[in-house]
Amino acid sequence: MQKNKYRETAFRIIVPIGSILILLSVLEFLSWFYVEYFSVPTTAFDFRIRQPKPYQNTDYFSEDFVKESYLQPGGWRISEKTGDITPNDFDGNLYHTRNGERVTAFTPEKHENTVFVFGGSTIYSLETPDEYTVPSQLQLLFNKFHPGKYLVRNMGIISFTTTQQLRLLKTVTDIKKGDIVIFYDGVNEIFLNIFYANPHSSMVKVAKQNLDTLSWIFKVTVIMSERFYFARLFLNPVDHGIPKHLGDDTFINKMAELSEREFAQNIIEAHRYSTEKGAVFFHFLQPQFYSDDFYTEYEKELKKNKYIMPGGVEESFKKGYPHLKKVTAELGRSINSYDLSGIFDGHKDGDEYFLDSVHVNHTGNRVVAENIFKIIRSSR
């Protein structure tokens, strides 16, 4: 009798729990099926793993490539004082970081001078293997036209603005006469000052602050959304709507003017510091998705995906980038400052570059490198 009572109790516990687990498994499977075959990709990883057009006809694309691009660099060191980040050393198949820098491919065994390329994630370029980053493509061009003369270093760090680039530049003690310093920037100014409306901070700090302000329930749902398809579809707490402050033109103009001043000051100071060391300084305003209003069929579909192209990003660039273009043009009267924001305008269907609003594929990086190299070569 006692055994029967235990069995009955166990049955009453196990059956409901089992039923719930089966139901959850079915819901998770259906959610996975919907996400995989019917919905737009809901994360950058899901988008890239499907091999979108910018990754088609490549010799490096694979599932392992995408996975490694998200695993590298195996962690970041964060400065408590500044919030600046530095990548750990990483030795993968397609990605390598050493001494806080993304490895540049094709470097010569001997060189006379160094080309330092500062920027954010578009220079670091987790979207491509080592040999396809902008610095690596620049190295190929320097090798071709100035063999044995220059070694290119990738000083790009994900999320860096010109303020952080300048701070990093001033830590480089081995800049000497004949070296070249390149600043390639602009988009992170827009994200930080316009989209997030959080000047004098950093992208890392903003992300941490946003996470810290979430309640424990929201934090749990964020974690669940990252791991389960059902939670990603129905419980994701991330707001993909347009930030309210973007509707306040007075406030946005104030932020844009602040961006102008800081952007100009940072570029001028970077130029001063570099030239005092004997290096030649170049500044380039980088391209971005919204530089014109003409889109290929692929780009029209990409533009609709709120997970990859969040609401408010287009508005931020439309309102903020003209200010940076103005600064770049004004600086160009006295220093080497050039506007590359429109180099991808008018490209044809099938010649796809953008993986989101600012990051491009290997072909895009090559186009950027060619434009930079052409300007540097013609000015010397």
What are the sequence ranges of the domains in the chain?
Answer: 1-38, 42-379
CB 282 within 8 A of CB 181: yes
354 DSSP assignment: B
Of the pLDDT bands very low, low, confident and very high (cuts 50, 70, 90), residue 19 is: confident
Instruction: Give this prediction's pTM.
Output: 0.87
Judge: domain 42-379, CATH 3.40.50.1110. Answer: yes
240 against 360, higher pLDDT: 360
SS3 (DSSP) at 379: helix
Residue type, 108: P
Q: Which two tokens stand for residue 45?
A: 């990883």
Q: Which residues pair with 156 in a beta bridge?
A: 119
Dist CA 259 CA 321 (whole Å): 10
Give the CA distances from residue 189 to residues 166, 242, 316, in Å, rounded to whole numbers and listed in that order. Answer: 13, 18, 10
**96-98 and 90-91 strand pairing:** antiparallel
Task: Please give the mean pLDDT across all residues of the chain.
Answer: 88
Of the pLDDT bands very low, low, confident and very high (cuts 50, 70, 90), residue 240 is: low
For the residues 230-240, what does the mean pLDDT come to?
Answer: 61
Name the residue among 48, 43, 37, 29 with its Cα closest to residue 305.
Answer: 43
